[in-house]
Structure 1
Amino acid sequence: MSNRDIHVLVIGGSWAGITAVNELIKLSYGSSIRLHVTLVEQRTHYFHKTGVIRGLVDLKYAEKMFISYQRLFTDGNPYHRFVCAKLTHIYEDCVVVDGSGRLFYDYLIIATGSAYTSLPVTQSIDEKECRARYQKMRHAIESARVILLVGGGAVGVGMCCEIAEQYPKKCIILAHARDRLLNEDLSDNLSITTENHLRKLGVELILGETILSTSFQDDDDDDYSTLIHDDWVGKPQTVIARSGRRVPCDLVIWTTGSRPYTDFMNSLVPTNDKHPLVDVDSGLINVSPTLQLSDIRYPNIFAVGDVNSLPISEKYATSAIHQAKHTVKNIRQLIEESRDHRIKRPPTTSSETAPKAHLAPYTSPRNTQVVVALGKGTEVSSSIFSKFSSWASGGGRGRMYMLDKAEKMLNF
């Protein structure tokens, strides 16, 4: 390896970001390289979003969901650090963050993840505020008699099961715009197994209906105002579907998807306007098979996890972990080859014809399984390479939502 100082920035303390930091710290051991590893994250703490639905009904579990990022850097190495700040701009050799100015890098790993704007607790960056919002959400669930969840992906399904198990006397309704539950990349059998389990728990399913707006009881019947999705309003209301169907309830919980954090990418200039750095529709960062930005001007920048343009079958925690490990391997190869990939190239150079480093492309691990938790003791699993296999069983995800794995990764 090179004997000069190498600065690697990891942006985002998600599954991918934490894994990348751990792998980079391992890389710095036992070598002559002075590897400076910096984690940049706007939260003051790690918040276990994977288990957010369990924390809504289990206070003891919720207390364990907050872990300091400083635990990643307990080895005393002065070259490894945590910077609590919000990323605002990215440039070819540095990033700009609130309160800390410019941070220069040789390699950059973007792992900013995505957020459910409909779950207020995931938007909090301060631990005190996060705990307060969490308590407000729990209180709304406890107080409501009839709860409607909008969105039948893994989060909506899991939340239905958690609430139904904890509060069996409540009326729980799940509305989903598609004719079957879960993501379209999963098997029909897995969806059917999930639907059957929800019905056994007493959950009412409304499939093939798009929910549009909400009207409160004291509103004019012909004047429907759409609620902001992060407003957990616990009072009698009527939800309106596109078909005209009305669903009375006391609380609406939207779990209709997420949006990646990529606004900071606007400061990077693409080599070719025909090849945008970020997809306009999805907001995802376009990457090459090696997980580098697809634009040849920025081969020292990688994007992993929810923020990159890999297919939906790669948008799971286990996939993010594998992507981060693969990225660090590629960075190690770049360092060993002492390649300077920041050479200026003409803006007209095509990304298809420009020379590329001989890095290994990312491939999904064999036998990767997608696991959807259906409450405390049940989960459904299916291989993402199979369109017909599915089964239900007791499993660790339903019990812990990978909190034990997160604690281990954070040296807790």
Structure 2
Amino acid sequence: MSGREIHVVVVGGSWAGITAVRQLLTLSRETYPRLLITLIERRTHYFHKTGIIRGLVDSNYAKQMFIPYDRLFAQSVSKFNHRIVCSRLTKVYQSFVEIENGARIFYDYLLLATGTEYTSLPVTQSTTARECRLMYQIMRDAIDAADHIVFIGGGAVGIGMCGEVAEMHPEKHITLVHARDSLLNDDLSTGFANATELRLQKMGVEVILNESVISSAESSCNSNSNGIRRRSSVSNMDVGRSGMWEVFPQKLVTGSGRHIACNLAIWTTGSRPATDYLSTLPVSNAKTPLIDTNTGRINVRPSLQLTDANYPNIFAIGDVNSLPLSEKYATSAVDQAKHAVAGIRILIDECYDFRAKMSPSMAADSALRACMDSYSATMKRQQAVVVSLGKHQELSTSLFARFSSWIHGSKRGRRYLIDRAQRMLNY
């Protein structure tokens, strides 16, 4: 047991970050009473992004998606005051981080769980519960008013949104446009993608593959920085951010020259993590960059430490890291958080102090070797991918998950794990 004070900073209060905080609280309570936890989160409330597509059509569900953080540390028995800092991370250094007001927060271990956001879904950019509710209402109003909706991007979010809207509004003409020859991600089987496409078509969704939307033929509109079409007359800040959801006749033009008429275009592409905060961290080896230049995600070892051996005390978990997309679902984020905290515990047990005890590369290799058994048991196991299509239908890559859904009546599709999120935050 370490007798010194240990400060762990977790950045990001979504699914992976909250799981990590809970694991650290257990570690503090049972093993390291001098462990201090700081959570840095830019939102005032937990925002349940796992259920973001349900909130677009169900106002009652949306009301449950904003959960205060005030009970997160309620069950802690440590004499140290764990804390929550409501701010945005701007810079990372080797022993401290800097937030938007310029304040510095020092750490022994840093867990980055900043996730990714769809810039075309304005609700994900909101920082307060009130602003989120306003954005949701504007987006729902647009969906209600539109006759023909085109979703651009056939990943999990685009497919889920199609399923939700098709189930709630069977009278609407819904089209899904995807640039590849099959839906979803490359790391999922073609058979699963084809089954998803067939299920959408049975729900009345028109699926167009191998087409990229490049512009709109509607001359009265212009594009914002995300390529989203909106009327040029929109100027108010709140309306401007959500103006991309304004309903008006338009024709989308694809790369092949095809025109698709609609009166609401919703882009579900372009998710990218914000990792600019790592630009202040020196890279020790050009062959192991901190950021993947293609995806913008943080490169990590199997132990979830940064690939740069100079920073064995910095971990990246959840959507922000470079693991395959099949590892980006909520259950995988839980495994990653547990695995990272297990790595931190190993380093603490070995009295790792990157300023004196051992070289950073030795510490990184030590944690990697010690974590491999845990990694093999969790991160390398086959993860079940579940795609929900409304409240009553879902598809899964796992036979067990499909059987469980049949037994429980598609429990995930009805609630999107919101009950579990409430329990995690002691609500």
**TM-score relative to the length of structure 1:** 0.91
Partner of 2:318: 305
Q: 1:248 to 1:5 in 2, by over 3 A?
A: same
Q: Secondary structure at the match of 1:149?
A: strand
Residue 87 of structure 1 contacts residue 98 of structure 1 at CA under 8 Å; is this kept in 2? yes
Residue in structure 2 matched with residue 151 of structure 1 by the alignment: 153
Give deviations 1:284-327, integer Å, cap 9, x for gaps. Answer: 11111111111111111111111111122211111111010011
Give me the whole-angstrom Cα distance separating, in 2, the residues matched to 1:265 and 1:397.
35
Residues 174 and 206 of structure 2 are in contact (CA less than 8 Å); yes or no, is this contact kept in structure 1? yes
Shift of 1:391: 11
Shift of 1:276: 1.1
1:359 aligns with: 370
How big is the shift at 1:23?
0.3
Partner of 2:235: none
Task: State the one-letter code of the partner of 1:378.
Answer: Q
AA at the equivalent of 1:274: K
CA shift for structure 1 position 191 = 1.5
Deviation at 1:217? 6.3
Cα distance change, pair 277–253 in 1 and its aligned pair in 2 (3 A): same
Task: Give the percent of matched residue pairs that are identical in Structure 1 and Structure 2.
Answer: 54
What residue is the counterpart of 1:212 in the other structure? 214
- What is the Cα deviation at residue 233 of structure 1? 2.4
Q: Secondary structure at the match of 1:70?
A: coil
Contact 2:327 2:383 in 1 (8 A): no
User: What letter is aligned with 2:280?
Assistant: S
**What is residue 83 of structure 2 aligned with on the other side?**
81
User: Could you tell me which amino acid in structure 2 is paired with residue 115 of structure 1?
Assistant: E
Seen in structure 2, the aligned counterparts of structure 1 residues 353 and 55 have a Cα distance that, compared at 3 Å, is closer
* Residue number in structure 2 paired with 1:196: 198
* Residue segments in structure 1 that go unaligned for 5+ positions in a row: none
Tell me the residue number matched to 1:326: 339
What SS does the aligned partner of 1:125 have?
A: coil
CA contact (8 A) 2:312 2:364 kept: no
Distance 1:86 1:355 in 2: 31
Find the aligned partners of 1:261 and 1:353 in 2 and give their Cα distance.
Answer: 28
Determine whether 1:184 maps to 2:199. no
User: Is 1:232 aligned to residue 231 of structure 2?
Assistant: no
Mean alpha-carbon deviation: is it higher for 254-263 or for 35-44? 254-263
Q: Report the residue type matching 2:15 in the other structure.
A: W
The Cα of 1:189 is off from its aligned counterpart by 2.1
| Aligned residue-pair number | 401
Given that residues 217 and 238 in structure 1 are in contact (C-alpha distance below 8 angstroms), is that contact kept between their aligned partners in structure 2? no
Aligned to 1:401: 416
The code of the aligned residue for 1:62 comes to: A
Query: Alpha-carbon deviations, 1:141-182, whole Å to 9, x = none?
Result: 011011000011111111111111111111111111111111
Letter in 2 for 1:18: I
CA separation in 2, counterparts of 1:98 and 1:268? 17
Q: Which residue of 2 aligns with 1:14?
A: 14
- Letter of the 1:267 counterpart: T
Task: State the TM-score, normalizing by the size of structure 2.
Answer: 0.88
What secondary structure, in the 3-state scheme, does the structure 2 residue paired with 1:109 have? Answer: strand
Decide which structure has greater helix share: 2
User: Which digits, 9 at most, give the CA deviation of each residue in 1:24-66, with x for residues without a partner?
Assistant: 0011113353110111000111111111111111111010000
SS for the counterpart of 1:368 is coil
1:5 is aligned to: 5
CA deviations 1:61-119 (Å, max 9, x no partner) are 01000001222111364421111011111111110112371111110100000001111
Deviation at 1:278, TM superposition (A): 1.0
Matched residues in 2 for 1:166 and 1:354: separation? 50
Q: Deviations along 1:213-255, whole A, 9 cap, x unmatched? A: 1132657xxxx86773372121111100000000010100001
Amino acid at match of 1:335: I
Q: Distance in 2 between matches of 1:267 and 1:409?
A: 33
Q: What is the CA–CA distance in structure 2 between the aligned matches of 1:22 and 1:32, rounded to whole Å?
A: 14
Equivalence map 1:9-408=2 (5 Å): 9-31=9-31, 33-75=33-75, 77=78, 78-99=80-101, 101-216=103-218, 228-229=227-228, 231-343=244-356, 356-357=366-367, 358-361=369-372, 362-363=375-376, 364=379, 366-383=381-398, 394-408=409-423
Which of 102-111 and 66-75 deviates more?
Answer: 66-75
Amino acid in the other structure paired with 1:55: G
In structure 2, give the amino acid aligned to 1:269: P
CA–CA distance in structure 1, aligned partners of residues 100 and 357 of structure 2: 28
Letter in 1 for 2:392: G
Q: CA deviation at 1:187?
A: 1.8
SS at match of 2:385: strand
State the SS of the aligned residue for 1:299: coil
How far apart are the structure 2 equivalents of 1:238 and 1:343? 64
Distance 1:97 1:32 in 2: 27
SS of equivalent to 1:103: strand
Counterpart of 1:114 in structure 2: which amino acid?
Answer: T
Aligned-CA RMSD value: 2.5
CA distance in 1 between counterparts of 2:84 and 2:397 reads 37
* Paired residue type of 2:14: S
